[in-house]
Structures are given as structure tokens and as C-alpha cells.
Amino acid sequence: MISLRLLGEPDVTVDGHAQPLAADTSLWLLTLLASAAEAVPREELLELLYPDTEEGAARNRLRQALHRARTRPWGAGVVATPGDVQWRASSDVRTFREACRVGRWADALAVFRGPLLGTRRPAGLPAFEAWLDLERDDLQQLWIDAALSHAEALEASGQPGAAQPWLAQVMAVSPYHEDAVQLSLRCAARLGDVPGAAQIYERFRTLLRRDLGVVPTETTTALYGAVRAGRVAATEPPRPGAPRTPLIGRQAELGTLLARLDDPACRLLSLTGPGGAGKTRLALELLRRSSPRPVGAHLVALEAATSVPAVLSAVAAALGLASGSSEVPETQVIAALQAGPALLALDNLEHLLAGETRDGLLALLTRLLAAAPGVQLITTSRIRLGLQDEWVTTLGGLELPATPTLEGAAQSGAVRLFLERARRVSPELALTPQTLDGLLTVTTQTGGLPLALELTAGWLGALTLEDVAAELHRGLDDVGSDAADRPARHRSLRATFDQSWALLPRGAQVMLARLSVCRGGFDLGAARTVGGGSLQTLLVLGDHSLLTRDLGGRYALHAVIREFAAQRPDLPGEHAAASAAHATYYAGLARDAAPHLHGPEQQRWLARLHTEHANLQAALAHLAGAGDAAGALALAADLHWFWYVRGHHREGYDHLTTALALPGGPDVARARALCAAGSLARDLGHHAATRRHLEDALTLARALTLPTLEAQAHHGLALLDRELGALDAALEHLHVAETLQRGGPDMWGLATTLNDLGIAQALQGDTAQARRLFQESLALKERIGDRQGVAYALANLGNVTESLTDFRRLTEQSLEIKRELGDRQGTANSLFNLADLHVNAGELPLARTQLTEALQLYVQLGRHRGTAAALLEFAKLCAAEGDPRRCVTLAGAANALARATGVPMQGVDISAVLLAARLDCGPDADDLYLQGQLLPLAGAIQRAIAPPGTAITPA
């Protein structure tokens, strides 16, 4: 076993024996590999480790370095291919990042021993040093987030003393972190340590005055006053995904907005203002600080959405819903929101409000508010919605100095933000009598806009504060002369961007303009291919605050910067070239991913495609718009399984039919796309379209002599016939598919066909034959490493076993794998089966726990068949718990849902239980059943999951 530690002084443990690592090329190589979540392209390694070496010689040196690495005791962890290199063993950097991602703060903090590589640093490798500085900063910020979140959790759970050491460490490395100071004050208050609180506050106030020339915010000062007066309550546990960078300024707006959200009359809160005003950051803070809600507080990023269906898809994803059911997406979202109070922040709506989608979007928001009384919406946009129920807050810049004095500037949020951002490139800058005029000019000329201030702070790497002020004067005058109709704040931001643009070398300008075609962020590979530049050029853009890098190493452009960069008139042809390069890059990603989506690395590739979802959509739109049938058909077909597994059936089907409507394209690509379209159409309930697509695919596959695709078409037709009740026809198609796949290369296809043959045999009552087919399918799935397939084969084997012990064992094994893979549909199915087992065995509390989770998953996924079956199983459970009245009511609700959606209640029969319950209820039975039929879905769910003994009031 190999375990690498890079956080702090580096060492590696091999089979229990630890050894230090020397500061040489092998260590730098190891650091690059073990810090990356994916394999690292050789080109990136060459650029970072051998930047000044001729390419051929650099490649040779890298081969030698890899050879030396493989001779080391830890060499087995290095796996190289012709295109990339990967660290396949344990790494504390990856462990730390993953623990932070899932909110295991204590685990993350236990791993972090210090900065990346401790005190080690290479000489003569400027690109690697720049990368190392960036990684160190990211990991340090992630540690601060983890320590602060852990401290919040400790304080909220009544352990303020345990939280204080972590807060002290945070303030030692991030002395201006006001959230840490505020939480320290709360901890001191809970411990009754008013002198300690005074010491914390005074130390912070002195530090701000000495280093920056500013003062604590009003919120911190007011909190200190409350501590002295003994009026401080405990904080709530931190919410996953909450922003951890302190909110600078906006304290007055924040207080007003939080009060509005506590007002039941405020259902729709709009944050408007110019681009770069900080609307998204304020919305995130509102989500973090608002009162808890049962359905949660969720950010819905809509920057990449181009239609109302895309908005619905984004909302569904934020709520954890799957978009793959035949249910109308809006109905699915409304059902989830009806389950209880929720807060949704719909971020970046301006492009949807300024186009043809405006009326449809406003109508959707109106329907959501009307159908889900417990939901509150926050919207961010440069444009007002114009709805009657809208409560509007318009954001301008941060507070400017009230007076042109040191005291006035010290109280200004704009000055505070500029100084904090400027210290990254100019650590000595502070508010002093000598810098006051320059700071007043900067904040006034930028209008206090946060984005403009951050961009301007980046200039200090090349200009003095006085030069920055002069450039802002000149730039705003230039912009104002030819754009007088623009609002002043917009002109100041444009002027700021233009000056930032002018400070860039030509290569960085080209890269920024080309990267404006990316959506939802991009990785380093895309930056190189689409942007056409190097890592060093990318770092230049970061140094100028023109792009951001998240803690996972992913890059992004602010929407306003992307908009300005895309509009540059001095780079003709770059946008079109970049769009083509973008489509080529992401089509290549999907092509590389497709073979892995059924094997042992399926989850990693599915996760990567999910991360690039917006870019993949943009690539498909470009290919279709360009009339590139070959590219569109291939990309859509490659994404079929991603769409299927992640529940994006409707989106995938739309892209596939768009590609299929284009003239031309290779017949093989068309046959693949037809098979994929047929598969997704069946899940959407489009039976006629399913048959048409699959029969067209079958015709093409036969003409082209493509047995693999021919078998896929037969398999799809079999599933359609089985769903429609034509079992004999389904068996005929499955047997043809099996014959075509036996001995062929598509082992996954054969395993899947055998699994469905087993289901068909089980439906016909031949459990022995079904068991044999499931066992063969399981063996094949295990052989190719298809964990999802293994889970389903285990579950199916459990369903045909005659031993309850075997059924429990196999179902629990299947459930464990499904949970590991994040397969919510499969998890719900296994939980349902186990709950039924436990009801029959009289293990009622365990059955209730499992059935509650299953029901909630079915509702999230929009699976009405599963939801109805779970309600019926709850009726059975309530009868076993001695509550016949609730049993009858839930049976009525399940019946109504099944009838309303036209889904058969296959395999669920509680007629005997229901008859006995009705007899127990006597003359009230019919009324109770009718009450259940009239219940809305949310009401039925609440009745089902309520603890035993809960009284049922009339509907």
C-alpha cells in the first residue's frame, strides 16, 4: 500500500514504512500528479517542468523522469499512457479536498498538516512556482473554510470552547476574516468570557486600523456591543455549499433583505443592478443566513440557460430531482416545492428577460408561486421582472466614503474591498493620508462596483495607485464620450475592463476573447485548446482578476467579463474560431467518455460529463447551428448514456431529434443516434416515436451489417413491447439480440439483454430460468466492472430467490452498491423491497425508516409508479402498526395517483390487508378512502411519513 503526504513536509509510506521525499524533479512531478483529480496531460507536465526546453528534448527528459519514478519504492503509483500520466495511489491532497467537498470538516482538518510541500520550493521553474503558489492559496482557503465550518458546527452544538482554538488558527492565517472574528465573539459570549471578547474585538480593530486604515463593520461592532450586554444567541450549524469568503459591505442591505424574507407577504424578492454589483454574492449570503426551511435553500445558476425548459431543468437539479420521468418537469418541480417551505435564488436572469423567453419565464414564476405557497424566490438580474408581487432591491456600488476624510474612507465598504483585493499584489497598500486621494478617486470612478474594484486592484501589479487613479479618469472620459446613453456605473465598469484589457499582452487578450465561448467554467485542457494559450497566459489573466479559479482547480469568467470580452472589435474571427474549437474539444471529451460509461470508471466519467454539462450543451448547439450533421449526431449519441443515467431524458431526446433532422452525416452515426433517441423516447412515454426510431435504426443497422447496433435496436424494441404488455414479442426481440451479441464485442450489451430476458422469464413464472439468466448477467457485469449492472443483477437475483435470508442479503448488497454510485432510483427500489420484507417480519420501525427514504426518493425522481406503490406499502405498514384509518386513507391516495397518471400497480397487492382495515373502520371506511383520493400529493406524503399514532384530521 502506498500513501503520499504533500500537505506539510512531504513523505511517502510504502507498506507501512515512511520515508521523506527529496526536493527534486521527482517530487515536483509527484506533486502535480497527486494534486490532480484526473490524469495530467503530458503537455501540461512539459510546460510546467521543462518550459525552456525544446519539445523533443523535453519529452525525452519527461520519459526519463517517469522511468526514474517507476524505479522508486512508490513507483507503482505512477501510471503513464502515451497521452497522460496519473497518480493511482493515496494522496492527502485528494483526501483533503474530498472531505471538504462532502462537509466532513473534522476529517479534512486531520489531514491538513501545513502548506503544500511545506517549505519546499523549486528553483528555475517559474511556471511550476506560479502553479504551486496558486495551489497553496487554494488549499489554504479551503482549510480556512473547513476550520470555520467546523468551528461553527462545534459552537452550534454547545461546544464553544472546542471551537475557539480553530478560530484562533483561522485568524492567525487570515487576520481580516470578519466571520471568524464574529464567531469568536459568539463563543466568548457563550462561555461568559466578556474580557476575552473585548480582547478579540480590540485586537481586530487595531489590526484593521494599523494595516488597512479601516474599521470593523457595523455588524461586528454591534455584535461586540451585544456580547457586552449579554444578548447573543448561538449560531446555527453551517449549511453545505455556503460561501466562506466574508461579505464586505452590504450590511444595511443584508439586514433589510433578511427582514423581508421573514415577512410571509414577501414571496418574490428581486435583486437588480448593473453587472458586477455583487448580486450573486449577496444572494448566496441570504441563502446562508435565512431561516431554515424543510425543502432547503438552493442557488439555481441560470447563466447557461437559454429557454424556460432549461430553467425548469436547473431548478429540478438544484432540488435534487431527476428530469427523466414521463412527468411534465413543471409538475415534478411543483410537487417537490409543495412538500414544505423552500427558498430558491434564481441567479442571472437578465438574458432570459431581455429576449423571447421573457413572457414564458414570468408565467412560470407566477405559476410556481401560486402552486407552492411555501416557496420564496430570490432573483438576480440587471432587469426588473415587472411582476405585481415583486419586492425590488436595486444594488449599486458599495458604500463610498461619506466624507473625503480618513475617517469617512475607513467606514467605506468600497475602500475596504479595494484594499483587501489590492493586498494580493501590493501588500504594503493601506489607507493613509498619502493614499487617501488615490483611494477616493478609485472608489468614486468605479462607482463602488465590486467587480470594477477587483479588476482595478489587479492593475497594481503594473501601476502605482496614482497611475491607477489617472487611468480611471482618462478611461471613463473616453467611454463617456461615445456612450453617453449608458448608465454611469455601466460606463465605469466598461472603462475599467477596457483598461484591464489594455494592460494585457496580446496573447492574453486573444485567450480571454476565445474563452468567452465557454459556459459554466472550464478546465485547463479547454483553456489550452479553446483559448489557444498556455498555462502561463492563463495565470496572467488570473493575476489581472479577469478570471477566477475555484477550489477544485476549475476556471470561470464573470458573466460581465465574458460579455465584454466577446464583444471586442479588435479580434475579428476569433469568436467563430473559438466556437469551432470549443465544439471539437467537448465532442472529443464525450467520445473519450463513452467507452468508459459501462465499466469500472463509469462514475468518474459521469461526474466529469456532469461538470461540463453546460459546455456540452453549447457544443451541441454550435454543431446543429452550423449544420454539422456528422458532429451533432456523433456527440449526441456519445452522450446518450450520460443523459439516461443522470435523468436528462427530455434534454437528450431534444438534442438527438435536432441532430437527426439535419441532412447528411454518416449512416453509422445516424443509426447510433436513432437507437439512443428510441431509448430516451420510451422512458418519456413516447411509444409511437420509440418504435419509429428503433425500426429506422434496425433498418440502417441491417443495411450496414452492424450486428452490435442491430442488437441494440432489437433490445430497445423488446423493452417497448414488454412495457406495452406484449411479452411474447418482447421475448422474440430479446432472443434475436442475444444471438447477435453472443461471441461479439459488446459484452455489456449481452449482459443487459440477459438481465432483461431474466425479467421476462420471471414475469412468465419460470424463476429457475430467470435465476440462471440473472447469474450469467451478473458474471458478465462483474467481468467488465459495471458496478451499476452488478447492483441490478444482485437485486433481480434476490427477487427470484426462494430464501428470505438470501433475498435480504442480495438486496442489501445491491443497496450498498447503489448508494455508493449515487443511483437514487435503484436505491429507492431496494429500500422498498427491504421495507416490505421487514413489514412482513414485524420489524416495523426499520420498515418505516426504509420506506420513508424510498418514498422521498421516488417523489424527487418524479416516479409516480414508485410513489403510488410506496403509498400503498405505507398503507400496509399502518395496518400492521394498528392504524386502520390511516391505512384506508393512504390506500385511497395511492389509487388516485395511479389512476391520474395511468401507471399500473404491478406487483403490489394489499387487498386482504385493506379489506381487514376497512372492516375495522366500519361505516367511516368509504369516507376515509375518499379523503385519501382527494388529498394532494404533498398531503398524502405527509400522512404517510408521520410517526405512528399521529392523528388524521379530515381532509
Tens-digit pLDDT profile for residues 294-326: 778 899 988 888 889 889 988 988 887 765 555
CA distances from 206 to 191, 202, 248, 402, 412 (A): 24, 6, 18, 22, 17
Q: What is the rounded average pLDDT of the residues 8-19?
A: 92
For residue 172, is pLDDT > 50?
yes
For residue 487, is pLDDT > 80?
no
Give 644's contacts (C-beta < 8 A, 6+ positions apart): 324, 652, 679, 680, 683
pLDDT class for 200, splitting at 50, 70, 90? very high
Cβ count within 10 A of residue 20? 10
Least confident interval from 42-56, 234-248, 615-629, 930-944: 234-248
Q: What is the DSSP letter of 948?
A: T
- How many angstroms separate the CA atoms of 707 and 383, rounded? 55
| Chain mean pLDDT for the chain | 87
Most confident of 148-162, 419-433, 457-471, 936-950: 148-162
Grid cell listed for 671: 443509426
- How many angstroms separate the CA atoms of 509 and 512, rounded? 5
For residue 672, is pLDDT > 90?
yes
pLDDT at 310: 87
pLDDT at 640: 95
For residue 379, is pLDDT > 70?
yes
| More confident of the two residues 363 and 550 | 363
Most confident of 428-432, 547-551, 656-660: 656-660
For residue 949, is pLDDT > 80?
no
pLDDT at 236: 47
Nearest-5° Cα angle at 371, 370 to 373: 75
pLDDT class for 118, splitting at 50, 70, 90? very high
For residue 475, is pLDDT > 70?
no
- How many angstroms separate the CA atoms of 430 and 420, rounded? 9
Task: List pLDDT tens digits, range 57-107.
Answer: 999 999 999 999 888 989 999 999 998 899 999 999 999 998 988 888 999
The helix (H) or strand (E) run that includes residue 380 is strand 375-381
For residue 476, is pLDDT > 60?
no
Residue 663 burial by CB count (10 A; 0-12/13-18/19+): exposed, middle or buried?
exposed
- How many angstroms separate the CA atoms of 711 and 733, rounded? 9
For residue 586, is pLDDT > 90?
yes
Least confident interval from 355-364, 495-504, 595-604: 495-504
For residue 477, is pLDDT > 70?
no
Task: List pLDDT tens digits, range 885-934.
Answer: 999 999 999 999 888 766 566 567 888 999 999 999 999 999 999 999 99
Q: Which of 185, 255, 172 is nearest to 220 (CA)?
A: 185
- In the chain, pLDDT over 70 holds for what percent of residues? 94
Q: What is the DSSP letter of 570?
A: T
pLDDT at 233: 54
pLDDT at 485: 43
pTM across the whole model:
0.78
pLDDT class for 951, splitting at 50, 70, 90? low
Q: Residue 922: what residue type?
A: G
pLDDT at 478: 44
Buried b (16+ CB within 10 A) or exposed e, 561-598: bbebbbebeebeebbeebbbbbbbbbbebbeebbebbb
- How many angstroms separate the CA atoms of 448 and 453, rounded? 7
pLDDT class for 572, splitting at 50, 70, 90? confident
**In the sheet where 78-80 sits, what is the strand order?**
40-41, 84-87, 78-80
pLDDT class for 484, splitting at 50, 70, 90? very low
Contact by Cβ (8 Å): 598, 641:
yes
pLDDT at 706: 94
Q: What is the rounded average pLDDT of the residues 777-805?
A: 91
